[in-house]
Amino acid sequence: MQHRFTRLFKDLRDLDYIRRLNRLSLRTLKERRNRADVIEVFKLCKGHTLLSLDRFFQLDTDRRTRGHSLKICKLCFHKDIRKYFFSVRVINRWNSLSEDVMQSSVNMFKRHLQKVRERRMGFFMSATPMVASSSANSLRHVRPHLVSYLVRLLSAVAIVW
């Protein structure tokens, strides 16, 4: 869906997918999923959802670990398919966050994730770093309200799907 969306702009059709995303200041679907996973774990830890944290994770009780106090234990599993589950794929990213972000609200947490993404490009496993400065120059001819409308529409479709 996102591949198709980025081809709607005539001036971007000749570029490859990653460059089209960079020019439109969008993230890859993989990066968006990984970011949403980390945000969902934060909501589970803070009690902002109806689900319990214990249903998915076991908190690390060893206080000698570095980082924040809400670290999640890595459990062993015997099937290879298990590594793609939400409760496994998010652990390394979650445990690498700092302590100061754990004391914030959901919106502050999202802002902190944006700062982490700017500092460490591979945090959400994006294929290539996104360059925000070149996007403004390359889209002068595109109507900004149309781009924002299409981005919101694409996000809504991705959430429903």
**pTM recorded for the entire structure:** 0.66
Question: Is 83 found in the same domain as 116?
Answer: yes
Total count of domains within the chain: 2
C-beta atoms surrounding 76 within 10 Å: 5
Each residue of 59-115: pLDDT tens digit?
777 766 666 778 888 777 777 777 778 788 888 888 888 887 777 889 998 888 888
Name the residue among 35, 42, 28 with its Cα closest to residue 98: 42
User: Residue 53 belongs to what domain range?
Assistant: 29-126
According to the model, what pLDDT value does residue 145 have?
Answer: 56
According to the model, what pLDDT value does residue 95 have?
Answer: 84
Residue 52 Cα distances to 29, 46, 57, 107, angstroms: 27, 10, 9, 21
Question: Is 55 found in the same domain as 108?
Answer: yes
Question: Is 117 found in the same domain as 57?
Answer: yes
Residues 6+ positions from 120 with CB-CB distance below 8 Å? none
Question: Is 120 found in the same domain as 110?
Answer: yes
Question: Is 100 found in the same domain as 57?
Answer: yes
Question: Is 108 found in the same domain as 40?
Answer: yes
